C-alpha cells in the first residue's frame, strides 16, 4: 500500500470536544494576561493591539505545524487515529513573565512601553533557548533536580500568584470569596456544577454577575467592553531589538529569570510529548522542542511576550480520540478573536475580583504539585527553594518606595531576591544532593552559584565582573566543604544512598 493512500481527515466529531477543552485552557490564559496587564496599568493599545495579537499568531503557527506533524505521522504509520499535539501559551512561564519579568521591569523603568519591550525581548530569547534545548534538553533533564526546579516555581506561585491574587480576591470579599469557594468545591471537591459547566467558567459567570448586581462593576463597563470590538491588525514590531538593549542594560537582573523558566518549559514539553508517545503517537521530541522555540520567537515579532509549549492536555485529546482538526480550529479561532477584539471585550467585562480567585487556585496547584510529584525526603529542598522568591516579592513590591524599611528588616532581602529563580534552583539542588549523600554534585552546584554570583547573574543588581563578592566567596567555601565531605563520608553509605534515588533527576 502506498504511504499516501491513508485518508487522515481534516476534522472529525471527536475534534469538537477536544477543541472546547483546549479553547477553554487558552482562553483562560488570554484573559489572565489581559486582566493582569491592565491591572498593572498597561494601556489597552499595548495589551490588545500588540501582546494579544502576537500571542495569537504564535498559537496559530504552532497549532498548524503540529497538525502537519500529525498528518506526517499518520501517513508514515498508515493510521487515521493519530492525535495532533495540543499547543498554546505555557501557564507557569506565563505567570513568571507577568510577575517575574513585566512587573520588575515596570518597577525598574517606570514605563509601560519599556517594560513591554523588555518582556518581548525576554520572550524572544526564551524561544532561542528552548529551540537549543532540543539538542541538549535530555542532559539538563537528567542533571537538574526536579524538586529544586519545582520548589523555585512554588516560591513564585506562593508570592506573586497565590499571595498577590489573594490580596486582589479579598479586595471585594463578597465576590472573591464566593468565586474562590466555587472553584474549591468544583475542582478540589470534584462536585459537578449546574448544567455540567466547568467549575472555573461557572465561577467567573457567578462572580461577574455578583459584581454587576451588587454595584461593584458598572453596566457602563459592558458598554466600554463592547467598544473594544474593532480591527486589531497583526503588525510586525521592532520591540524585540529595542528590548534587548534594555534587557542587557537597565534590566539585566531580569535576564536571570529567563533561562531557568525556559529550561522548565522545555522539560515540560519533553514530558508531555513522551506522555503522548506512551499512548501510541510517538512524535520526535527534539522536533517538538524546536517547534515550541520557534513558535515562542514568532510571537515577539508581532508584540507577543509569552512562551508557548505542548500542553499536558495532549493526552486528554488523545483519550478523546481527536485528530488534527481541533488543533487547526484552535489556532484559527484565537487569531480571529484577537483580530476583532473579542479577547478585549471579555477581559473588559470580567472584573478582576472574578478572575483573581482562579489565579489563587493555580498558584496553590503549582505549590501542591511541587510536593505531590516529589518524594517526601525532598520536601526540605522544595521549602528552601521557595524562600528566594519571598525576598524577590518584598524587593519588587516595596524596595522602590521604601528602601529604608526593607533594609531595616534585613540587608539580605534585596540580594537574595535578585536572580531569585536561579538562586532558588541552586539552593534547592544543593539540598537534594545532600539528602542523596551526593556531596560531589552538591559542590558542583555550589561552584555554579559562585560563578553566577561573581558575574552578577544572582545576588547582584546588574551583570558585572566581581558583582557579588561575598556571596561568591560563600558559595566557594561551601563548595570546598562539600568536596571534603565527599571524601570523608563512607563510600558504602554513598552507594546505599544512590540506590534509593527516585526523584532527583527531572523525569
For 426-493, the DSSP string reads: HHHHHHHHHHTT-HHHHHHHHHHHHHHHHTTSSSSSS--TT-SHHHHHHHHHHHHHHHHHHHHS-HHH
DSSP state of 310: E
How many Å apart are CA 60 and CA 332, to the nearest integer?
A: 6
Cell 520557534 locates to: 294
DSSP 3-state of 191? coil
Give pLDDT, residue 325: 92
Q: 461: phi > 0 → left, psi -120 to 50 → alpha, else beta; which?
A: alpha
Give pLDDT, residue 217: 86
Cell, residue 257: 529569570
How many Å apart are CA 485 and CA 444, to the nearest integer?
A: 13
Do 247 and 254 form a contact (C-beta atoms < 8 A)?
yes
Count other Cβ atoms within 10 Å, centred on residue 480.
Answer: 13
How many Å apart are CA 30 and CA 37, to the nearest integer?
A: 11
Contacting residues for 358 by C-beta, under 8 A, at least 6 apart: 28, 32, 179, 183, 200, 203, 204
Do 373 and 137 form a contact (C-beta atoms < 8 A)?
no
With CA atoms as reference, report the closest residue to 54 among 195, 233, 176, 188.
Answer: 233
How many Å apart are CA 22 and CA 28, to the nearest integer?
A: 10
Cell, residue 423: 538562586
Contacting residues for 357 by C-beta, under 8 A, at least 6 apart: 165, 169, 176, 179, 180, 183, 203, 207
Cell, residue 372: 505531590
Cell, residue 442: 552538591
Query: CA 167 → CA 159, 161, 176, 218, distances in Å?
Result: 11, 10, 10, 22
Cell 463592547 locates to: 226
Phi, psi dihedrals of residue 505, rounded to the nearest 5°: -70, 145
Give pLDDT, residue 505: 47
Cell 536571570 locates to: 256
DSSP state of 85: P
Give pLDDT, residue 506: 43
Do 339 and 234 form a contact (C-beta atoms < 8 A)?
yes
DSSP 3-state of 458? coil
Give pLDDT, residue 507: 44
How many Å apart are CA 198 and CA 348, to the nearest integer?
A: 21
Ranges under pLDDT 50 in the chain: 1-3, 502-507
Cell, residue 412: 539580605
With CA atoms as reference, report the closest residue to 361 among 190, 166, 210.
Answer: 166
Do 13 and 323 form a contact (C-beta atoms < 8 A)?
no
Model pTM score:
0.75
Count other Cβ atoms within 10 Å, centred on residue 195.
Answer: 6
How many Å apart are CA 272 and CA 488, to the nearest integer?
A: 41
Cell, residue 390: 519571598
Burial 447-479 (b: 16+ CB within 10 A, else e): bbbbebbbbbbbbbeebeeebbeebbebbbebb
Do 447 and 482 form a contact (C-beta atoms < 8 A)?
no
Give pLDDT, residue 400: 59
Give pLDDT, residue 1: 41
Do 273 and 310 form a contact (C-beta atoms < 8 A)?
yes
Count other Cβ atoms within 10 Å, centred on residue 224.
Answer: 13
Give pLDDT, residue 399: 62
Cell, residue 76: 508514515
Amino acid at each position: 500500500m502506498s504511504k499516501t493512500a491513508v485518508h487522515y481527515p481534516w476534522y472529525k466529531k471527536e475534534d469538537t470536544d477536544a477543541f472546547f477543552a483546549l479553547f477553554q485552557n487558552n482562553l483562560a490564559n488570554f484573559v489572565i494576561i489581559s486582566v493582569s496587564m491592565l491591572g498593572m496599568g498597561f494601556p489597552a493599545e499595548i495589551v490588545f493591539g500588540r501582546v494579544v495579537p502576537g500571542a495569537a499568531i504564535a498559537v496559530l503557527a504552532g497549532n498548524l505545524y503540529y497538525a502537519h506533524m500529525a498528518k506526517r505521522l499518520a501517513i508514515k504509520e498508515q493510521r487515521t487515529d493519530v492525535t495532533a499535539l495540543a499547543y498554546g501559551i505555557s501557564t507557569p512561564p506565563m505567570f513568571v513573565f507577568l510577575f517575574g519579568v513585566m512587573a520588575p521591569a515596570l518597577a525598574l523603568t517606570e514605563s509601560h512601553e519599556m517594560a513591554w519591550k523588555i518582556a518581548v525581548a525576554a520572550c524572544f530569547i526564551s524561544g532561542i533557548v528552548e529551540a537549543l534545548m532540543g539538542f541538549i534538553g535530555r542532559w539538563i533533564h537528567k542533571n537538574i533536580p526536579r524538586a529544586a526546579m519545582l520548589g523555585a516555581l512554588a516560591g513564585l506561585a506562593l508570592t506573586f500568584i497565590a499571595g498577590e491574587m489573594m490580596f486582589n480576591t479579598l479586595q471585594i470579599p463578597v465576590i472573591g470569596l464566593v468565586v474562590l469557594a466555587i472553584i474549591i468545591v468544583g475542582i478540589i471537591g470534584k462536585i459537578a456544577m449546574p448544567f455540567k459547566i466547568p467549575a472555573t467558567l461557572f465561577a467567573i459567570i457567578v462572580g461577574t454577575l455578583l459584581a454587576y448586581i451588587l454595584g461593584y462593576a458598572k453596566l457602563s463597563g459592558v458598554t466600554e467592553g463592547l467598544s473594544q470590538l474593532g480591527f486589531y491588525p497583526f503588525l510586525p514590531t521592532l520591540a524585540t531589538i529595542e528590548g534587548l538593549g534594555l534587557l542587557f542594560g537597565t534590566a539585566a537582573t531580569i535576564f536571570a529569570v529567563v533561562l531557568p523558566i525556559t529550561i522548565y518549559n522545555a522539560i515540560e514539553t519533553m514530558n508531555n510529548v513522551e506522555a503522548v508517545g506512551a499512548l501510541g503517537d510517538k512524535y520526535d521530541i527534539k522536533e517538538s522542542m524546536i517547534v515550541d522555540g520557534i513558535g515562542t520567537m514568532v510571537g515577539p515579532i508581532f508584540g507577543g511576550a509569552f512562551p508557548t509549549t505542548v500542553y499536558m492536555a495532549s493526552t486528554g485529546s488523545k483519550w478523546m480520540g481527536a485528530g488534527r482538526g481541533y488543533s487547526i480550529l484552535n489556532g484559527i479561532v484565537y487569531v480571529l478573536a484577537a483580530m476583532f477584539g473579542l479577547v478585549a471585550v471579555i477581559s473588559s467585562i470580567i472584573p478582576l475580583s472574578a478572575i483573581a480567585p482562579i489565579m489563587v487556585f493555580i498558584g496553590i496547584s503549582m505549590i501542591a504539585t511541587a510536593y505531590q510529584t516529589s518524594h517526601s525526603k525532598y520536601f526540605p529542598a522544595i521549602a528552601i527553594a521557595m524562600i528566594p522568591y519571598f525576598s524577590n516579592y518584598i524587593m519588587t513590591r516595596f524596595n522602590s518606595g521604601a528602601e529604608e524599611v526593607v533594609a531595616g528588616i534585613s540587608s539580605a532581602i534585596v540580594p537574595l531576591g535578585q536572580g531569585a529563580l536561579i538562586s532558588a534552583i541552586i539552593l534547592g539542588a544543593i539540598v537534594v544532593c545532600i539528602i542523596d549523600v551526593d556531596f560531589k554534585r552538591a559542590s558542583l552546584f555550589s561552584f555554579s552559584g559562585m560563578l553566577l554570583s561573581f558575574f552578577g547573574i544572582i545576588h547582584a543588581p546588574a551583570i558585572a565582573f566581581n558583582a557579588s563578592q561575598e556571596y561568591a566567596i560563600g558559595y566557594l567555601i561551601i563548595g570546598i566543604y562539600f568536596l571534603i565531605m565527599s571524601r570523608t563520608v563512607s563510600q558504602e553509605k554513598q552507594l546505599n544512598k544512590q540506590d534509593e534515588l527516585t526523584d532527583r533527576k527531572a523525569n
